[in-house]
Structure formats: C-alpha cells, structure tokens
Amino acid sequence: MGWLSFSGAAANTEPKQTSDGGLIAPDRSERSQCWEGRDGFFRCLDKAGIVDSVKEDAKARAACAEELRAFEKVCKDSWVTYFKKRRVMEIQRDATIKKLSAEGAQGMEVTNEVTGASAMRGK
C-alpha cells in the first residue's frame, strides 16, 4: 500500500512512454501549469526575501510550504531544480546590470550579446 501510494504521488513526474520508445515530455497545458506553479512559489520567495531556495531550502520550505508543494506537484523534479537555479542566476544578472549602470557603464551590443547568450542560456 505504501508503495502504491508512493507511485501514485510520483505519477505526475514519471514520464510516460510512447509506443515507439520515446518518453513523453510535458505538453502545453502541463507546461503552463508548471510555470504557474513556479511563479506562485517565486512570488512567495520574493515576499520572504529568499533568493536561493536550493541553498536556503529549509527556510524556503518553512516560508512557502504550500506554494512549494503546489510547484512540486505540477512540475517534474528536474524542472523544479532548474527553475530554482535559474531564478538565482537571473536575480544575480539583473543585480550586476543594475550595479554596472549605476557606475555609469555603457551598454554595448557585443556585451549585451555575450551576457545575453551565456547568462541567459537556459536549457
């Protein structure tokens, strides 16, 4: 019974197989559900002043327990981890840009492309 309930809970994240051996990735509605779950969790993190919910896992779980549970329910584990890390990277990138422009740095197209390509490079 314990095993059954475990597999029931994991069914959401367990990829289904296609008849020709492929693995079904989340479709459009599952993706948007996942993004909504992510946004809800991140809004809570913003309120709680938490940037890195991987490093500050305990704190994030305490402050945003419900949102995190909802997020984890609608997204694959790998996506949850990815979005958590990407949040940190984006916040850091924005902070760096802000800092540089406050120091009077001029934007350059090349710089823009380089940072855009490497920092924005998602998965």
Partner 1 sequence: MSTYFFRKRFKAPFNLLQRLGPARSSQFRGYTGSPNHKWSDKQLHEAKKPLHSKSWISYAVPAALVVIAGGAMFVHHNDKKRAILKGSSQRTGSERNIRGLGPVIGGPFKLIDTDCNSVTDRDLRGNWTLIYFGYTSSPDVGPEEVKKMAKAIDILESEQNPNIKPVFISIDPERDSPSHLRAYLEEFDTRIIGLTGSISAIRQTAQEYRIYFKKFDEEGGDYLIETSHKMYLMNPDMELVRCFGVEYDAEQLCEEILNEVKGVASSDK
We find the least distance from the C-beta atom of residue 7 to partner 1, in angstroms, to be 13
Cβ atoms of residues 31 and 82 within 8 Å: no
Q: How many residues bind partner 1 (CB under 8 A)?
A: 35
Round to whole Å and give the CA distance between 34 and 83. Answer: 10
Identity of the residue, 1 or 110, whose beta carbon is nearer to partner 1 in the bound complex: 110
Residue 74: in which H helix or E strand, if any? Answer: helix 65-74
We find the least distance from the C-beta atom of residue 62 to partner 1, in angstroms, to be 24
Q: What is the DSSP letter of 76?
A: -
Interface pick for partner 1 out of 2, 8, 21, 49 (rule CB under 8 A):
21
Interface pick for partner 1 out of 1, 11, 23, 102 (rule CB under 8 A):
23
